[in-house]
């Protein structure tokens, strides 16, 4: 409207900015948006501070001596191995035996650390690992026999080098299971077990005590080539993937055979209640806090028992200090990582970005309205207020609207306005005066404004 010598149509200035109205002093709407975005940033910063969590971070200490896992003699497998495992697992967590998969469990055994660097540390070693998968189903309701024992029976089994499979039955005594419809009856469930062994890179955590004792606390991660199963996130990994990574490794055939013998021994026995009234500790990973065996969780209980058995066999390795390796040690040295949920990160990023964009828009707005020594402000007033529009066309309105017919409809008025071009500036005939007059008029009646010249209403 100021610089174009040919002017602009009346239609183009009727709705200059449909979303944000001009304000001669400041971009008022943008200012309110900017203040709102600042409040949003303040709120997200407070929320971020509330949601932040500190997580301990293990860092590499170095390579230090450790024993090698090796097996030369078959362990003695007692006929009451299941009773031993019940006591051994009473206060154990699942991660003591392995890491959960979506359809099973994977575990292993590292050698023994020789260097005790901290009260709690991790050690990584290439060693032997195993994977277990269990599928259960085919429920059968049978009459109660009243002995309250959890019984297992081996139906069939097969062994191929480092792979073992078996079919077992699990007998739940009446009242011990969660099948409410048949709570007064015993329930029989069939399960199929698949077990395999192979080579992997295992990271285990160890703890020491004041008397110099050293024990493995839990398995932290197991890596099979490019596939890694981590304690923190093992979802999306299945038994079949582990089996493919193991491939064929006859070096662990003896270990698999010893484990198979132990599995046959444990799953051909009955176990009386060892705590509470109805369930045994051996099957604790299929028992939820309500004290009942959950039929939908049977596969987890059987898988955990197989992992206990494998852990028992692997713990009989001859870790002689005469055969020493170099293992990677990690320790917790007071360092940690500050974490926050992803949605908080997104909210913070959005609020900061929005505030930045609005601030840039506000600066550009102020730059636009502050130019021209107030002359641009006059145009802003004109566009912002119908009254100011009338003020600036008071001297030229007759010429602008002389062809506008009194009976025009909305569409006709718009077509008329499309053909009328105007320019904002100084009237030609006032250039000779000391003070110029600013108007909205046809382009041929307007000359450009001069920065050093005085105009009515502008100082």
What distance in Å separates the CA atoms of residue 224 and residue 218, rounded to the nearest whole number? 18
Question: DSSP states of 423-439 as a string?
Answer: EEEEEGGGTTSSEE-EE
Could you read off the pLDDT of 432-449 as tens digits, one per residue?
Answer: 888 877 877 888 888 887
Residue range 346-358: average pLDDT? Answer: 87
Residue range 246-250: average pLDDT? Answer: 75
In sequence order, which residues have a C-beta less than 8 Å from that of residue 137 and are 6 or more positions away?
189, 190, 191
Work out whether the CA dihedral 14, 16, 22, 24 comes out positive or negative. Answer: negative
Q: Any bridge partners for residue 19, and if so which?
A: none
- Give yes or no for residue 160 having a pLDDT over 60: yes
Confidence of residue 20 (pLDDT cuts 50, 70, 90): very low
Work out whether the CA dihedral 45, 48, 49, 50 comes out positive or negative. Answer: positive
Could you read off the pLDDT of 24-49 as tens digits, one per residue?
Answer: 455 567 777 888 888 888 888 888 88
- Give yes or no for residue 122 having a pLDDT over 60: yes
What distance in Å separates the CA atoms of residue 437 and residue 425, rounded to the nearest whole number? 8
- The overall average pLDDT reported for the chain is 81
Write 335-338 long-range contacts (CB < 8 A, 24+).
335/56, 335/57, 335/59, 336/54, 336/55, 336/56, 336/57, 337/54, 337/55, 337/57, 338/52, 338/53, 338/54, 338/55
**Which helix (H) or strand (E) element contains residue 224?**
strand 214-224
Torsion of CA 401, 403, 408, 412, to 10 degrees: -90
Relative to beta strand 214-224, strand 227-230 is antiparallel
Which of 79-88, 168-177, 235-244 is least confident?
79-88
**What b/e sequence results for 331-347 when a residue is b if at least 16 CB atoms lie within 10 Å of its CB, and e otherwise?**
bbeeeeeeeeeeebeeb
Which of 11-20, 177-186, 310-319, 338-347 is least confident?
11-20
- Give yes or no for residue 17 having a pLDDT over 60: no
CB 383 within 8 A of CB 22: yes
The H-assigned helical ranges of 91-198 are 94-97
What is the token pair recorded at 40? 């949003």
- Give yes or no for residue 395 having a pLDDT over 60: yes
Residue range 58-82: average pLDDT? Answer: 84
Could you read off the pLDDT of 269-286 as tens digits, one per residue?
Answer: 888 776 555 566 778 888
Work out whether the CA dihedral 440, 446, 452, 454 comes out positive or negative. Answer: negative
């Amino acid at each position: 409207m100021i610089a174009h010598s040919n002017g602009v149509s009346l239609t183009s200035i009727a709705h200059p900015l449909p979303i944000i109205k001009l304000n001669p002093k400041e971009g008022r709407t943008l200012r309110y948006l900017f203040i709102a975005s600042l409040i949003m940033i303040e709120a997200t910063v407070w929320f971020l501070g509330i949601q932040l969590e500190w997580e301990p971070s293990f860092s590499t200490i170095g390579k230090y001596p450790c024993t090698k896992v090796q097996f030369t003699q078959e362990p003695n497998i007692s006929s009451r191995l299941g009773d031993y495992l019940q006591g051994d697992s009473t206060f154990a967590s699942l991660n003591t035996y392995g890491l959960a998969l979506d359809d099973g469990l994977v575990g292993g055994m590292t050698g023994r650390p020789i260097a005790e660097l901290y009260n709690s540390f991790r050690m990584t070693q290439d060693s032997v690992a195993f994977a277990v998968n269990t599928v259960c189903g085919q429920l059968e309701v049978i009459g109660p026999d009243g002995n309250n024992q959890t019984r297992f029976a081996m139906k069939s089994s097969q062994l191929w080098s480092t792979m073992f499979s078996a079919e077992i039955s699990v007998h739940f005594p009446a009242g011990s299971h969660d099948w409410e419809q048949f709570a007064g009856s015993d329930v029989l469930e069939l399960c199929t077990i698949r077990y395999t062994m192979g080579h992997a890179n295992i990271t285990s955590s160890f703890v020491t005590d004041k008397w110099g004792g050293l024990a493995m606390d839990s398995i932290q991660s197991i890596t099979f080539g490019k596939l890694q199963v981590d304690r923190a996130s093992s979802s999306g990994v299945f038994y079949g993937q582990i089996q493919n990574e193991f491939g064929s490794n006859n070096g662990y055939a003896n270990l698999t055979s010893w484990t198979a013998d132990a599995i046959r021994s444990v799953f051909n026995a009955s176990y009386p209640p060892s705590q509470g009234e109805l369930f045994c500790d051996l099957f604790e990973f299929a028992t939820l806090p309500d004290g009942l065996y959950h039929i939908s969780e049977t596969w987890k209980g059987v898988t955990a028992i197989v992992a206990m058995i494998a852990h028992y066999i692997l713990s009989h390795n001859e870790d002689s200090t005469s055969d020493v390796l170099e293992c990677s040690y990690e320790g917790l040295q007071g360092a940690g990582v500050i974490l926050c949920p992803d949605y908080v990160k997104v909210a913070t990023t959005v609020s900061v970005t929005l505030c930045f964009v609005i601030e840039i828009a506000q600066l550009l707005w102020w730059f636009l309205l502050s130019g021209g020594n107030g002359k641009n402000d006059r145009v802003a007033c004109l566009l912002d207020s119908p009254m100011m529009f009338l003020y600036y066309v008071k001297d030229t309105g007759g010429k602008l609207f002389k062809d506008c017919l009194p009976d025009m409809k909305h569409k006709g008025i718009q077509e008329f306005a499309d053909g009328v071009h105007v320019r904002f500036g100084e009237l030609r005939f006032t250039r000779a005066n000391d003070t110029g007059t600013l108007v909205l008029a046809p382009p041929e009646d307007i000359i450009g404004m001069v920065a050093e010249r005085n105009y009515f209403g502008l100082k």
